[in-house]
Amino acid sequence: MKKMTYAEAIREGMRIKMQQDKKVYILGEDVGAFGGCFGVTSGLFEEFGEDRVRDTPISEGVIIGCAVGSAATGLRPIAELMFVDFLTVGMDQLVNQAAKMRYMFGGKINMPMVVRLPAGAGVQAAAQHSQSLEAWLTHIPGLKVVYPSTPQDALGLMLTSIEDDNPVMYMEHKALYAMEGEIEEVKPIPLGVADVKREGKDITIVATGKMVHETLAASEMLIKEGIDVEVVDPRTLFPLDKKTIFESVKKTHKVVIVTEEHKRGGYGGEISAIISEEIFDELDAPVVRIGALDTPIPFSPVLEDYVIPNYIDIVKAVKSLV
Amino acid sequence: MSLDKGKIIEMYKTMKRIREFEVKAQNLFAEGSIPGFVHLYIGEEAVATGVCANLNEDDYITSTHRGHGHIIAKGGDLRYMMAELYGKSTGYCKGKGGSMHIADATKGILGANGIVGAGHNIATGAGLSAKYKGTQQVCICFFGDASTNQGTFHESLNLASIWKLPIIFVCENNLYGISMSQSRHQAIKDISDRAVAYNMPGIAVDGNDVFAVYEAAEEAIKRARNGQGPTLIECKTYRHRGHFEGDAGAYKPTEEQKEWLEKDPIPRIEKFMIENKIVIEKELEDLRNEVKGQIEEAIEFANNSPYPELETAVNDIYSDIVEEVRVR
């Protein structure tokens, strides 16, 4: 057992697969000797060389497109976008090409590519560098979407994502990079398997990314008031582990969903709808969603804190239900 | 140029195969046998043929919405192509792609593409793949004049140049982006001039002269295989039909159409073959009939093939996940 930060765990996942398989390579802006904007690829250039850790021009379209073309012809690219926000610049290559090529071609090609997408607010990066765009991705058939919240999950999900023969969107929260955690084992975590981050009996909270930690903090406050929260972290948004979520809801009969994306049109709404459609009779109260306010992410720290949900909002929502 | 008689006849047959396929597709679309959209390659046959005559089976191509010609020239099977146009289960894509998405990975055909300019980016990946693995493969990226106004064109030529990727960017300048003439959609005449911005060779050739195209591609492919990087070749040609079937092309001046019909690449190569005694008229007629037979066979194959089972709509999205079916 050893400790690693979230950033180190992502890097370790990439390093292990690059050592095992020469077809795995990294491309992106400043991922080489510079080590990536957040330092996540740091040291990989020195270990694997410039052919396998490739600096690209600032051209998000061709970063994703090059990954698509090389994946279709037998390599296993890991494309780093500096911020998930920049995905919008290369969206055609992701949505119309990567996600659809296997289907359009009658299932006759593989598309084994990972796109790393630093997401989320909390670092005062303002409206174009702080978004949570997971709902854009989960909406598109052909993409898989993972969103680890701990170093252990980051490592295990990276190993699996690189092994997957489909495009995997790897969301990583930039405010978690420095967070340390125990690595109990170096083992792939299957996609579509949720993790119960805290067991409880009174209420289920489904949370993703950094909101898992806000929820755990809220849970510690709530238990002091006698409210025992179960925290379910889906870890993979698609494929979604409905079974684990349903099992928890069947136990608690009350659900809060906490995601950092804007509430309007967010993936939290999809999870809520699935619960309502499939196990409505298990619910004792309407599903409550907590998300960012429906505003662009503001710069000023006080405004940013106000727009992004935190443990206080979670405590309040839970109390309204019990 | 290293073309013997047999090679010239092969190239003629490819051009004629494309023309015949497209004329039949035109008729079949008009009579309602082919659904959707069809973008025909009639008039541009010398480009795909001249370029692909230089390629090996494991070389790659990326194509466009006007892709039938590229796929035939790269060795695509006419039966699977026609069945795909019909939306039949025996088509290249099991009826899930249609005219704009035909692909055959076993022949390096990385797909026609419905997004103008998308192939440029994908080509960089195929080129990188070849270079990364240290093979001698090249990737031909076919695209039209209008796509050179997309950001993808610039991103891709830039990347291919700095990474010295084995890619030949083949621009089919057919003078129109849908209804907008080249003189209206860009302020330059020779698209090959844009190569300068990426420090790669840029050449303009008569795209209706299959031998001129062949020679230009031969040189560029040699450079690419030698690790000398990409080339931009602009082939000046003309689309005889509208942008898609159903577009009468009223925006194309009559004089212009007349002028280009006189430069039709098919009669041109036929004349060359007769004048240079490569074939006699009777042999030419036999070749035409041989090609016609192949197209008829493809149509029969498509006609006799079943439509896909409805449940197949939910597979082939992922390698390992089948989506929910709709119960009707």
Nearest to B129 among A64, A75, A110 (CB): A75
**pLDDT tens profile A166-205:** 999 999 999 999 999 999 999 999 999 999 999 999 999 9
List, for chain A, all residue ranges whose pLDDT scores fall below the cut of 70.
none
Q: How many structural domains does chain B have?
A: 1
Peptide bond into A239 cis (omega under 30): yes
How far away is chain B from the Cα of A59, in angstroms, using its nearest Cα? 6
Asked if A253 is an active-site residue, the reply is no
A57-80: b or e for each residue (b if 16 or more CB lie within 10 Å)? eebbbbbbbbbbbbbbbebbbbbb
Q: Is B9 part of any domain?
A: yes
Residues 6+ apart with CB under 8 A from A219: A198, A200, A205, A229, A231
- CATH topology for the A2-183 domain: Rossmann fold (3.40.50)
CB nearest B118 (choices: A59, A77, A93):
A93
Q: Which domain holds residue B274?
A: 5-314
Longest dimension (CA), chain A: 58
Consecutive 10-residue averages of pLDDT for chain B (328 residues): 89 98 98 96 98 98 98 98 98 98 97 97 98 98 98 98 98 97 97 98 98 98 98 98 96 97 98 97 98 98 98 97 94
Q: Return the residue in A52, A54, A73 with the most chain B beta carbons within 10 A, the one to mutate for interface testing.
A: A73
Rg (CA), chain A: 19
Q: Looking at the domain assignment, is residue B134 inside a domain?
A: yes
CATH number reported for the structural domain that contains residue B94 in this entry: 3.40.50.970
Among residues B60, B42, B43, the alpha carbon closest in space to that of B51 is found at: B60
CA-based nearest distance A93→chain B, Å: 7
CA angle (B78 as vertex; B76, B80 as ends), nearest 5: 85
pLDDT recorded at residue A198: 98
Q: pLDDT of B85-124, one tens digit each?
A: 999 999 999 999 999 999 999 999 999 999 999 999 999 9
Chain B, 39 to 68: residues with Cβ < 8 Å from chain A are 60, 62
Domain assignment present for residue B326? The answer is no
Interatomic CA distance for residues B179 and B177, integer angstroms: 6
- The crossing angle, in degrees rounded to 10, of helices A242-252 and A267-279 is 60
Residue A6 near residue A151 (C-beta atoms within 8 A): yes
Cβ within 8 Å of residue A299, ≥6 positions away? A124, A126, A127
Whether B155 is covered by a domain: the verdict is yes
**CATH code of the domain occupying A195-321:** 3.40.50.920
Predicted TM-score (pTM) of the model is: 0.97
With contact defined as beta carbons under 8 Å apart, do A189 and A157 qualify? yes
Query: What is the spatial distance between Cα A76 and Cα A25, in angstroms, rounded to a whole number?
Result: 7
A197 vs B: CB within 8 A: no
- In what order do the strands lie in the sheet containing B202-206? B60-62, B139-144, B167-173, B231-236, B202-206
| Chain B interface, best mutation among A21, A60, A62, by max B CB count within 10 A | A62
User: Residue A61 and residue B152: Cβ atoms within 8 Å?
Assistant: yes
Specify if B92 maps to a domain. Answer: yes
How far is B153 from B165, CA to CA, in rounded Å? 15
In this structure, the strands spanning A255-262 and B202-206 are: unpaired
Residue B325 lies in a domain: no
Q: Is A76 on the interface with B (CB under 8 A)?
A: no
Beta strands of B248-298 (E only): which ranges? none
**Hey, is the C-beta of A281 within 8 angstroms of any chain B C-beta?**
no
Q: Do B128 and A69 touch (CB under 8 A)?
A: yes
CATH 3.40.50.970, chain A: domain bounds = 2-183
pLDDT at A169: 98
User: What is the reported pLDDT for A282?
Assistant: 98
Residues in Cβ contact with A321 at an 8 Å cutoff, skipping those fewer than 6 apart: A203, A254, A256, A285, A288
Q: Is residue B226 exposed (0-12), middle (13-18) or buried (19+ Cβ within 10 Å)?
A: exposed
Q: Which residue has the tokens 């040699």?
A: B222
A-chain CB neighbours of B110 within 8 Å are 69, 72-73
pLDDT at residue A159 in the model? 98
Examine residue B323 and state whether it is found in any structural domain, yes or no.
no
Is residue B296 in a domain?
A: yes
Quote the ipTM score. Answer: 0.96
Q: Which residues of A touch B152 (CB under 8 A)?
A: 61-62, 65, 92
- Which residues of chain B does A53 touch, with a Cβ-Cβ cutoff of 8 Å? none
User: The tokens of B7 are what?
Assistant: 């090679």
pLDDT score, position B1: 56
Q: Which residue of A has its CA nearest to B157?
A: A62
